[in-house]
């Protein structure tokens, strides 16, 4: 009997040790407490400062599947009339993959199509939006690529508005996060991607929509954004989670346990970073001396940045050596940069708080120098 108890105790001990030593699903730590996740490509950034909080292969070119539709929505909100009715074409209704189920000949507003696009991941909605705004999918895709370049996304190329696999349809995890941050500047975008259920009667839509993005139910304060899946891209997910000062945007691409991995990355960020308010909007940062007058420079916004716990940050002010012929309050003059552990995590312009006017472009003090030479 004693031998049996001894064997049972040994088994129990092994079970306890196994549970303690097993990593959380989708995540493990090395000896330096650095996180590793079960995703081929991933990034987490602060929505406002764009500071990178975690990254794994975040700058490699990869397929993006239906996360493409974030850019489709961004372009539609910029260039489309949301109340315009679009007649569903044969091309739209005949789309393969995920779809809402719009029928050829139906008339749907672009506003409703955007809900079908982002909540139901409708490829048919993507084609209808493209045709309704630009006349054709091909012309709409040109606008997508032009606008991507305009907002500084340089390692991304779109072939479609829906994201089905094509060799020249690719992005990076980082680019996709930047696109998402840009889209989140629009209230309508946020309203759409944070919606769990939309009833037809409440919005005068043709049908109701239930959001297939499970992350809205799994992480407290999650407010978007988009799922995706194709054979080449694997399972993808772009997520936004609101905190006290900003939103944390998390992208995982080619990630089978995407829900759990996203949650683990979010928990890692919360555990390892704290948001600090290092400057207040409209307070004086510095001044530029011009002849007999000083122009004060102010912060254009509250500067609230994520700082890794235990790290130190340094703020640097860059002032111009040359000015234009005139300055008025609100003009952009100089920059403020914040560094953490030698890496830049914030960069924005400063603004003038007063008027200044000269007759021509000058170096500071150049006129005074010429006067002194003449007087001699």
Give the residue carrying structure tokens 């349809």. 169
First to last CA, the chain: 113
In the set 49, 66, 89, 240, the catalytic residue is 66
Residue 40 among known ligand-binding residues: no
- Residue 317: CB atoms within 10 A of its CB come to 13
* Catalytic site includes residue 66: yes
CA atoms within 13 A on the CB side of 202: 5
In the set 69, 99, 184, 235, the catalytic residue is 69
* Catalytic site includes residue 372: no
In the set 92, 121, 195, 246, the catalytic residue is 121
* Catalytic site includes residue 326: no
Contact of 46 with 243, CB cutoff 8 Å? no
Known binding-site residue numbers for substrate = 226
Which of the residues are catalytic? 66, 69, 121
């Amino acid at each position: 009997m004693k031998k049996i108890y001894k064997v049972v105790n040994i088994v129990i001990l092994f079970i306890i040790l196994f549970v303690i030593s097993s990593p959380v699903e989708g995540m493990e730590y090395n000896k330096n407490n650095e996180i590793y996740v079960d995703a081929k490509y991933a990034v987490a950034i602060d929505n406002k400062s764009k500071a990178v909080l975690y990254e794994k292969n975040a700058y490699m070119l990869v397929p993006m599947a239906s996360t493409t539709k974030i850019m489709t929505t961004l372009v539609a909100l910029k260039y489309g009339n949301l109340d315009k009715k679009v007649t569903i074409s044969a091309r739209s209704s005949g789309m393969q993959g995920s779809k809402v189920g719009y029928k050829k000949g139906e008339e749907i507003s672009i506003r409703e199509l955007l809900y079908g696009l982002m909540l139901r991941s409708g490829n048919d909605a993507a084609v209808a939006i493209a045709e309704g705004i630009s006349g054709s999918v091909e012309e709409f895709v040109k606008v997508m690529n032009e606008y991507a370049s305009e907002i500084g996304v340089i390692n991304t190329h779109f072939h479609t508005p829906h994201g089905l696999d094509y060799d020249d349809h690719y992005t990076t995890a980082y680019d996709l996060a930047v696109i998402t941050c840009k889209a989140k500047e629009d209230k309508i975008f946020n309203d759409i991607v944070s919606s769990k259920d939309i009833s037809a009667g409440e919005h005068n839509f043709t049908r109701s929509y239930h959001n297939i993005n499970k992350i809205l139910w799994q992480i407290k304060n999650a407010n978007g954004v988009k799922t995706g899946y194709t054979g080449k891209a694997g399972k993808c997910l772009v997520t936004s989670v609101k905190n006290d000062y900003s939103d944390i945007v998390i992208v995982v691409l080619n990630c089978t346990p995407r829900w759990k991995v996203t949650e683990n990355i979010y928990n890692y960020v919360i555990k390892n970073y704290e948001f600090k308010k290092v400057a207040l909007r409209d307070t004086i940062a510095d001044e530029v001396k011009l002849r007999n007058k000083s122009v004060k420079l102010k912060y254009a916004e509250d500067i609230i940045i994520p700082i890794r716990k235990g790290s130190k940050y340094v703020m640097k002010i860059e002032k111009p050596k040359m000015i234009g012929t005139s300055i008025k309050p609100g003009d952009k003059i100089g920059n403020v940069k914040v560094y953490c552990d030698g890496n830049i995590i914030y960069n924005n312009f400063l603004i003038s708080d007063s008027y200044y006017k000269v007759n021509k472009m000058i170096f500071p003090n150049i006129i005074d120098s010429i006067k002194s030479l003449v007087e001699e």
